[in-house]
């Protein structure tokens, strides 16, 4: 047997024994440090913080509607032929705010008065239940009339009366007057709502 190998064996064992002791010391030192970190994390994570939560559900923003109905939509309010001096023709129409928004209404007239003396043909527009007329004058001169604000669901009836003057002469025979009436609605003024 080799003497050098025998002598080297105890040195090798000694080195391993020393390494074991060093590793064992390191492990003994690391274990308490790891335990300290774990304890710190546990304490920090289980702090007695006050907490409060509240929720607002179903918040919504919905637009309103702006619509109208016309009892004689796309039809004449009045239409008569063979009119003679002194005749009066009446026609009525009901306008309803069918939308959910209050709306300001106007009435516009686009007319052609073909009479020789235009003032021979009169037009009076009245609102049912209101004394003052919406318009009273020569047919074709209404232009635009303000009708005020209609609440949602509100209906108003208007009567159109046309009259050919009793004094109209032969020069008015065979004459025609025509008109288109347009009802416009515009939303009421914008508002701010605080809730």
Residue 90 and residue 177 in one domain: yes
Q: Based on the domain organization, do 103 and 165 belong to the same domain?
A: yes
pLDDT at 108 over 70: yes
Please name the residue that has the structure tokens 């190998």: 5
SS3 state of residue 14:
helix
Question: Does one domain contain both 99 and 157?
Answer: yes
Radius of gyration of the chain (CA): 48
pLDDT confidence of residue 48 = 76
Residues 124 and 165 in one domain: yes
Average pLDDT, the chain: 86
- Residue 26: is its pLDDT beyond 90? no
* 40 or 123, which is more confident: 123
Checking if the pLDDT of 9 tops 80, the result is no
Residue 195 has pLDDT above 80, yes or no: yes
Task: State yes or no: pLDDT of 23 exceeds 90.
Answer: no
Domain that holds residue 134: 68-187
Percent of the chain, pLDDT > 70?
76
In a domain, 83, yes or no: yes
pLDDT in the model for residue 61: 86
Q: Is there a contact between 139 and 123 (Cβ–Cβ < 8 Å)?
A: yes
Q: Are residues 24 and 114 in the same domain?
A: no
1 lies in a domain?
no
Specify whether 34 is located in the same domain as 83.
no
Q: What is the pLDDT of residue 41?
A: 56
Question: Based on the domain organization, do 159 and 86 belong to the same domain?
Answer: yes
pLDDT at 104 over 80: yes
For residue 128, is it within any domain?
yes
- Same domain (yes/no): 132, 91: yes
pTM of the complete model: 0.72
Nearest to 102, CA basis, from 69, 77, 129, 68: 68
Same domain, residue pair 159 and 77: yes
* pLDDT tens profile 34-87: 666 665 555 555 567 888 899 999 898 899 999 999 999 999 999 999 999 999
Closest CA to 109 of 144, 64, 159: 144
Q: What is the pLDDT of residue 30?
A: 59
Within this chain, do residues 152 and 92 fall inside the same structural domain, yes or no? yes
Give the domain CATH number at 110: 2.60.40
Q: Is 93 found in the same domain as 21?
A: no
């Amino acid at each position: 047997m080799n003497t050098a190998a025998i002598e080297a064996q105890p040195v090798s064992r000694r080195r391993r024994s020393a390494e074991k002791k060093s590793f064992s010391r390191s492990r003994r030192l690391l274990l308490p440090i790891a335990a300290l970190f774990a304890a710190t994390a546990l304490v920090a994570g289980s702090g007695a913080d006050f907490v409060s939560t509240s929720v607002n559900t179903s918040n919504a923003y919905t637009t309103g509607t702006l619509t109208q109905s016309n009892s004689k939509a796309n039809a004449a309010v009045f239409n008569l032929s063979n009119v003679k001096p002194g005749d009066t023709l009446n026609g009525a129409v009901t306008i309803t705010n069918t939308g959910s928004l209050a709306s300001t209404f106007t009435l516009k007239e686009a007319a052609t008065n073909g009479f020789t003396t235009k003032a021979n043909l009169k037009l009076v527009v009245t609102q049912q239940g209101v004394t003052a007329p919406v318009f009273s004058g020569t047919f074709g001169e209404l232009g635009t009339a303000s009708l005020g604000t209609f609440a949602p669901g509100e209906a108003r009836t208007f009567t159109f009366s046309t009259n050919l003057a009793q004094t109209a002469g032969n020069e008015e025979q065979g004459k025609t007057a025509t008109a288109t009436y347009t009802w416009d609605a515009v939303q009421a003024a914008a508002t701010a709502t605080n809730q």
